[in-house]
Amino acid sequence: MSYLTQLKTFVEVYRSGNITRAAARLHMSQPAVTSHIQAMENIVGKELFIRKARGVEPTAIADDLALQVASHIDTLEQKVASIRSRASTDHGTLHLAGPAEYLSLVAGPALANLLQADKVNLVIHTGNKSNIYHLLENDVAELAITASEPTDAMYEYQKLDKERLILVMNRVQGKLLGEREISAALLNQHKVVTYDEQLPLVRRYFSEVFNAACESPVAAVCPDIRAINSIIKAGIGYSVLPDYLCKEGISKGELVALGKPGPENDVYLVWKKGALRHPRVDFAKDVIMAFANINYLSTLPD
C-alpha cells in the first residue's frame, strides 16, 4: 500500500508546526490531516508529534522520518508540477519581499526583466529581516531577498549578490578625520546614525575591523538606510552602509569613506521548501537568478 499522501501531510505538519496551518496549505480539513498523522503513527509504531497549546512539537522519530523523506517528497512534487501545462501555470501574481533600499537601488533590473517576460505580475513587500521572514513563513511572500542567511530548516536559498560594508562620515568631520588613524576610540567620540537600537551594521563593522564595541552616542535611529545616507550627507555623524548605497555619494564628495573596507555580506534569494512546486515561483526564481548572475553581480566592486 502507498503512503505517499500521508507522508506529504506529515512533511507539511512537520514544517508548519501546526495542524490548522498545514490543513490550510494542503487545502484539507483538520480532521483529514489528523487522520493522516494518526495513520503514519500507526505505520511507524511511535508518536510523531506532541500536541501543544499552540501547535505540535515533533518527536525524535518525526525528526528522523522528516530527514529521510522530506527532500524526496519535494522532488516528487516538483516533477509532477513540471509535467503540468507550464504555459498556463507560469502566469499569475508573484509576491516578493525584501529590504526597500536594495529593491530600489540594485534589484530593479532583475525585477524589470521578470516583468518583461509578460507572464508574472509582481507585488513587492518591503521590511526588515524579521518582517521579511514573517511574510515568507505566513505564505504572504513566495520569494524574498535578504542579507541574512536562512537558519530555519523550512527554507531553501541561493546566493544572489554581495555587498561590502563601508564606514562613512559627513564630509566636514570626515575630512578632519581623514588624515588620522581611524579607531573605535576615535569614532566613539562622534555621533552615529543607525538602522535600529542594536546597531546591526555598525556593530559588525566595529567587531570585525576594530575588534571592539561601538560606544558612540546615537544621533538617530532610522529603519531605512536610504534615509541614514541622507542624514549623514546633511552633516550628522557617521554610519556603516552597504557599498551600493554610498558609493555615489563618496564619488561626488558628499560622503567621506573612512578606515578599512568592512566585511562583505552575501545577499540571498529565499523561498520555503516546496514553493518551487509552483511553476510560477520556479520560473521567477530562475529569471531573477539568471539576470543577477549575468549582469549586476559581476559589476560590484572588489
> What would the pLDDT profile of 131-164 be if each residue is shown by its tens digit?
999 999 999 999 999 988 998 889 999 999 889 9
Question: Of 238, 200, 241, 221, which Cα lies nearest the Cα of 102?
Answer: 241
Alpha carbon 72 to chain centroid, angstroms: 25
Residue 169: partners with Cβ closer than 8 Å, 6 or more residues away: 177, 190, 232, 237, 238, 255, 256, 258
Given a contact cutoff of 8 angstroms between Cβ atoms, the answer to whether 168 and 256 are in contact is: yes
How many Å apart are CA 70 and CA 21, to the nearest integer?
Answer: 18
pLDDT in tens, 201-217: 999 999 999 999 999 99
**Could you tell me which of 154, 175, 189 has the C-alpha nearest to residue 22?**
154
Q: At what angle do helices 108-116 and 279-294 cross, to 10 degrees?
A: 130
Residues 6+ away with beta carbon under 8 Å from 143: 94, 95, 96, 97, 269, 270, 271, 275, 281, 284, 285, 288
Model confidence at 187: pLDDT above 80: yes
| Type of residue at 117 | A
pLDDT tens string 277-291: 888 888 889 888 887
3-state helix, strand, coil in the chain (%, to 5): 50, 20, 30
What pLDDT does residue 65 have? 92
Neighbouring-strand partners of residue 145:
269
Rounded Cα distance, 57 and 59, in Å: 7
Whether the CB-CB separation of 41 and 48 falls below 8 Å is answered with yes
Which residues, including other chains, have CB under 8 Å from residue 34's CB and lie 6 or more apart? 19
For 22-70, how does the pLDDT look when each residue is reduced to its tens digit (9 = 90+)? Answer: 999 888 999 999 999 999 999 999 999 999 888 899 999 999 999 999 8
Whether the pLDDT of residue 297 is over 50: the answer is no
Alpha helices in the chain (DSSP H): 4-16, 19-26, 30-44, 60-83, 86-89, 100-105, 108-116, 129-137, 171-177, 184-187, 200-205, 225-233, 243-251, 279-294
More confident site: 258 or 200: 258
> Which of 120, 67, 73, 130 lies closest to 97, judged by CA?
130
Q: What amino acid occupies position 112?
A: A
CA distances from 188 to 128, 176, 177, 206, 296 (A): 26, 15, 13, 10, 35
**Distance (Å, rounded) from C-alpha 152 to C-alpha 146?**
14
Residue 64, C-alpha cell as written in the block: 528522523
Per-residue pLDDT tens digits for 62-117: 999 999 998 888 888 777 766 554 444 567 788 999 998 888 888 877 788 778 76
